[in-house]
Amino acid sequence: MTSHDAPGTAIVTGASSGIGWEYATRLAARGWGLVLVARRAERLDVLAEEALNKGAAAVEALVADLGSPDDLAHVVERASGADVDLMVNNAGINGYGPFAEVDPALLTRVVNVNVVALTALTRPPCRACWRGAGAR
């Protein structure tokens, strides 16, 4: 974005901490509208208030587990909205340990969040394709 572009609406996944939180507050300070996605609703509420104070045009909290096919379909649908101009595809699980020692159930969640959700959200118009998708 250049300084001449009018800000629009951005979706930030994994907004409840770390890099996603930082993206959200910086976009807010530039006047963007925000759709904040993560599982921790209370963190999103705190962020929403901070973002509005910094100048966000509007803020919407979308509480979702991107490892859940139903929640993912909901977020993909929101990301397909005509008002969405920017996707910060940031949510992810990290620090889960050496690959050979990871619990298979955790590895499944890692793949669903870090790969399946990321891919689905990169291609939002195909929203129906992703219902029921994911490693099991």
Ligand X SMILES: NC(=O)c1ccc[n+]([C@@H]2O[C@H](COP(=O)([O-])OP(=O)(O)OC[C@H]3O[C@@H](n4cnc5c(N)ncnc54)[C@H](OP(=O)(O)O)[C@@H]3O)[C@@H](O)[C@H]2O)c1
Token duo for residue 136: 């099991």
Contact characters 102-121, ligand X, x per CB under 6 A: -----------x--------
Among 20, 33, 124, 134, binds ligand X (CB under 6 A): 20
| E strand segments, the chain | 9-13, 33-38, 59-63, 84-88
- Closest distance between ligand X and the C-beta of residue 106, in Å? 11
Size of the site for ligand X (CB under 6 A): 21
Residue 26 contacts ligand X per CB under 6 A: no
Rounded to whole angstroms, how far apart are CA atoms 57 and 47?
A: 14
10 touches 85 (CB < 8 A)? yes
Residue 124 contacts ligand X per CB under 6 A: no
